[in-house]
Amino acid sequence: MNHHDLALIGFGGVNRALAEIIRDRGDALADELGFTLRVVAITDLRLGSLVQQDGIDLHHVLTLPVGATFAGLPGGEAVPQNEDVIRACGADIVVEATFTNPVDGEPAVSHVRAALASGKSVTTTNKGPVALAAAALNRLAAENGVRFEYEGSVMSGTPVLRLAKETMKGLRISRVQGVLNGTSNFVLGRMEAGLPLADAVAEAQALGFAEADPTADIEGSDVQLKVVILANELFGAGLGVDDVERRGIDGIRPEEVARAAAEGRRWKLVGTVARDDAGRISASVEPLLLDADHPLFGISGATNAVAITSDLLGTVTMSGPGAGREETAYALLSDIIAIDARQRARAEVVR
């Protein structure tokens, strides 16, 4: 049976949820998937660094009291040493789940680069390194015989990238449209019910859908990064963030939302990538007024969805959760499964 040692970079909600899955379902997953998982390193801004090559007691670290650090544990330090831990620990897969920096992708880009350069595969849910540096990081992964996987960077645990790239091979995709930000979608829905924008945002924050600073959601920059990823992964476009035109929902007035609802239409913040007959790629993020027959019309609340239009299938729509700690942790697990499958396939070729 195969075995993988993991290093968790960041120990917030998502990586904690992954640790809980491994703790609670590890034996069942091993039986189902044919490999075992063990966490040998964790780094976190609040907790510090912990390296235990024989495996970390996940129950213990998951139940540390508030305010505790790793300093009192064998192999623990109060200050995180992310890149040093990444290079030196015995993990073969690094799980990067730190915050997204939309400007330069740091420190996540450096975390991923350090892991790949030291011969470790990487899975991440972080949009920054994928949108801003995926091409270079994938080259580095190939040079070192490892994998860089990032299914969760667009729709959390809903597998849009793998669906389009693997299951839909042989199709010529002409357009991808998506409701890719649950916060903005929830806010528009509450505005449709009569709330002003500010009140709808406050409700989203109270329910945990929106961050304390909702700017990236409301102004569309979160979707902009996801559109870059879709354009480059599904169309090979080679786009940067500045190539994607962006408008958020902050300019939509309540009366516009009410008028649209009275007409049987609905505002959605939509990310679009399209290829014309000449092969030119365009990409945008903007509020669109959708008719009831549009495949994204009925996507409500914090749900995400993509509609993929191709030559042989027409439009295929996939919807699912675009956030959530367990849902996003599943995206990381799905990447680990993909890494294991690639390793097995390479081993069979060598034989």
Same domain, 189 and 279: yes
pLDDT at 351: 65
Same domain, 296 and 189: yes
- Nearest residue to 125 via CA among 351, 338, 344, 322: 322
pLDDT at 293: 97
For helices 127-143 and 108-117, angle between their N-to-C axes, nearest 10 degrees: 10
d(CA 335, CA 5): 14
Same domain, 152 and 164: no
Residue 326 has pLDDT above 90, yes or no: yes
Same domain, 173 and 122: no
| Interstrand relation of 245-246 and 281-290 (parallel, antiparallel or unpaired) | parallel
| Interstrand relation of 121-124 and 314-321 (parallel, antiparallel or unpaired) | unpaired
Q: Return the H-helix or E-strand segment holding 226.
A: helix 221-235
Digit-coded pLDDT (tens) for 259-281? 999 999 999 999 999 999 999 99
pLDDT at 349: 73
Instruction: Count the domains in the chain.
Output: 2
Token readout for 56 is 């970390």
pLDDT at 350: 66
Digit-coded pLDDT (tens) for 116-141? 999 999 999 999 999 999 999 999 99
d(CA 301, CA 190): 9
> Residue 13 maps to which CATH number?
3.40.50.720
- Residue 277: domain span: 160-321
Same domain, 170 and 21: no
- Indicate the burial class of 267 (C-beta count within 10 angstroms; 0-12, 13-18, 19 or more): buried
Enzyme catalytic residues: 226
Residue 177 has pLDDT above 90, yes or no: yes
C-beta of residue 285 within 8 angstroms of C-beta of residue 247: yes
Digit-coded pLDDT (tens) for 64-75? 999 999 999 999
